[in-house]
């Protein structure tokens, strides 16, 4: 069993060398072997909008890998929030593509296997055929440009966000080389049935039908964390077993039994919200999850309460 598991590290042109060094040391001490570089607030061009930062430079990106000897780590990037494949406004799509272009460039510098990104906005109804067209065009363009990192749109956590697990798999299945990021906490928060063994197996079946080349060097991206769920789905991330009871032990048990741990890359997104008194962090949760996966423990039944959800997809 070759588990790839780690955490997110925020990166930008202005990242603090000292802070990041401490984080990498902690990652290494805990023998975590995957890192997702978060470029969430990075923007192209002028960065005079509060909260936005420029992308890291080529030198900075390559230095991160070399100075911290991260060559052995399975790396990926979480793209900026500003990328949207659901917009039908040509100007916004053009801006998304430019942002994606900068992201892919940085991801290749960071040896990243894929770019995870939120595919779109919060709307009651999305035009799936439109998103498929956009994603297909982006993928063809990515290949033409010779970017190595693959595209991996993420399962959204809010009921109205784009998109649920099966919609994303369906879209990705029509596009060469396109992956998805299966965030199990988002899937749970938006009403996906990941609370039963059957529901999880159905997802693995869909994955098997879509990607037959998953391996330790080409893994399906997955995210996990605790999560507070409200009526509209995701509210915010929290440490594991806090919040609304994400069924991570059940899901990881199924992955274990189905020999799936060699085929997925697990990134822990646990977070203590500002001003909260909760304890824990992504690194200790990733270690906990790994301990569970390498133990003989199996959890077959979900005993949590799925929160306030009164709707379920599939
Ligand atoms: Zn996520």
> Does the structure show a pLDDT above 90 at 32?
yes
> Does the structure show a pLDDT above 70 at 89?
yes
Distance 136 CA to ligand 1 centre (A): 22
The backbone region for 8, taken as left when phi is positive above 0, alpha when psi lies in -120 to 50, beta otherwise, is beta
Please state, in angstroms and rounded to a whole number, the distance separating the CA atoms of residues 193 and 31.
Answer: 32
Distance 160 CA to ligand 1 centre (A): 16
What's the DSSP call for residue 208? H
Mean pLDDT along residues 119-143: 90
Please state, in angstroms and rounded to a whole number, the distance separating the CA atoms of residues 63 and 206.
Answer: 39
How far is the CA of 163 from the CAs of 30, 40, 312, in angstroms? Answer: 33, 19, 14
Lowest mean per-residue pLDDT among 30-39, 118-127, 163-172, 181-190? 118-127
> Does the structure show a pLDDT above 70 at 236?
yes
Lowest mean per-residue pLDDT among 112-121, 249-258, 304-313? 304-313
Hey, where are the domains in the chain? 4-294
Can you give the pLDDT at residue 48? 77
Mean pLDDT along residues 227-252: 92
First to last CA, the chain: 30
Farthest-apart Cα atoms in the chain, separation = 53
Task: Give percent of the chain above pLDDT 90.
Answer: 77
Distance 272 CA to ligand 1 centre (A): 15
Indicate the class that CATH gives domain 4-294.
alpha beta
> Does the structure show a pLDDT above 70 at 2?
yes
Distance 154 CA to ligand 1 centre (A): 7
Can you give the pLDDT at residue 138? 97
Please state, in angstroms and rounded to a whole number, the distance separating the CA atoms of residues 29 and 21.
Answer: 12
Mean pLDDT along residues 152-178: 95
Distance 61 CA to ligand 1 centre (A): 22
Tokens coding 201: 């197996």
Distance 269 CA to ligand 1 centre (A): 7
> Does the structure show a pLDDT above 60 at 250?
yes
How far is the CA of 206 from the CAs of 109, 166, 199, in angstroms? Answer: 32, 8, 11
pTM for this prediction: 0.95
Closest by Cα among 65, 6, 29 to 290: 6
pLDDT one-digit tens code per residue, 135-147: 999 999 999 999 9
> Does the structure show a pLDDT above 70 at 129?
yes
pLDDT one-digit tens code per residue, 288-311: 999 999 999 999 999 887 655 555
- State the average pLDDT for the chain: 92
Q: Are 246 and 157 in contact (CB under 8 A)?
A: no
Can you give the pLDDT at residue 121? 75
Distance 161 CA to ligand 1 centre (A): 13
pLDDT band at 47 (very low <50, low <70, confident <90, very high): low
pLDDT band at 313 (very low <50, low <70, confident <90, very high): low
Distance 88 CA to ligand 1 centre (A): 24
Mean pLDDT along residues 227-248: 91
Distance 71 CA to ligand 1 centre (A): 23
Each as own residue / partner, the long-range contacts of residues 241-247 (CB below 8 Å, 24 or more positions apart, any chain) are 242/278, 242/280, 244/188, 244/189, 244/304, 244/305, 244/306, 244/307, 245/302, 245/304, 245/305, 245/306, 245/307, 246/184, 246/185, 246/188, 246/189, 246/304, 247/184, 247/188, 247/194, 247/195, 247/302, 247/304
Distance 37 CA to ligand 1 centre (A): 12
Distance 277 CA to ligand 1 centre (A): 23
Can you give the pLDDT at residue 62? 93
> Does the structure show a pLDDT above 80 at 178?
yes
Distance 237 CA to ligand 1 centre (A): 9
């Amino acid at each position: 069993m070759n588990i790839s598991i780690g955490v997110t590290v925020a990166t930008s042109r202005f990242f603090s060398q000292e802070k990041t060094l401490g984080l990498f040391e902690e990652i290494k001490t805990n023998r975590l072997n995957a890192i997702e570089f978060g470029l969430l607030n990075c923007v192209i061009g002028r960065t005079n909008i509060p909260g936005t930062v420029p992308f890291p430079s080529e030198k900075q990106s390559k230095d991160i890998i070399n100075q911290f000897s991260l060559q052995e780590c399975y790396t990926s990037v979480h793209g900026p929030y500003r990328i949207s494949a659901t917009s039908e406004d040509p100007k916004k799509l053009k801006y998304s593509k430019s942002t994606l272009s900068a992201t892919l460039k940085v991801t290749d510098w960071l040896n990243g296997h894929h770019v995870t990104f939120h595919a779109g906005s919060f709307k009651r109804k999305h035009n799936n055929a439109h998103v498929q067209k956009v994603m297909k065009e982006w993928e063809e363009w990515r290949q033409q440009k010779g970017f190595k990192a693959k595209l991996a749109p993420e399962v959204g956590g809010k009921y109205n966000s784009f998109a649920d697990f099966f919609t994303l798999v369906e879209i990705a299945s029509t596009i060469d080389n396109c992956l998805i990021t299966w965030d199990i906490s988002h899937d749970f928060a938006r009403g996906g049935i990941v609370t039963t063994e059957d529901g999880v197996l159905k997802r693995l079946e869909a994955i098997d039908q879509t990607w037959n080349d998953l391996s330790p060097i080409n893994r399906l991206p997955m995210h996990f964390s605790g999560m507070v769920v409200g009526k509209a789905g995701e509210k915010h991330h929290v440490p594991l077993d806090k919040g609304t009871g994400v069924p991570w032990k059940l899901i990881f048990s199924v992955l274990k039994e189905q020999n799936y741990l060699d085929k997925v890359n697990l990134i822990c997104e646990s977070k203590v919200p500002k001003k909260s008194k909760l304890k824990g962090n992504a690194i200790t949760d990733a270690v906990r999850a790994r301990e569970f996966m390498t133990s003989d423990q199996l959890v077959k039944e979900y005993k949590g309460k799925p929160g306030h959800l009164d709707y379920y997809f599939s």
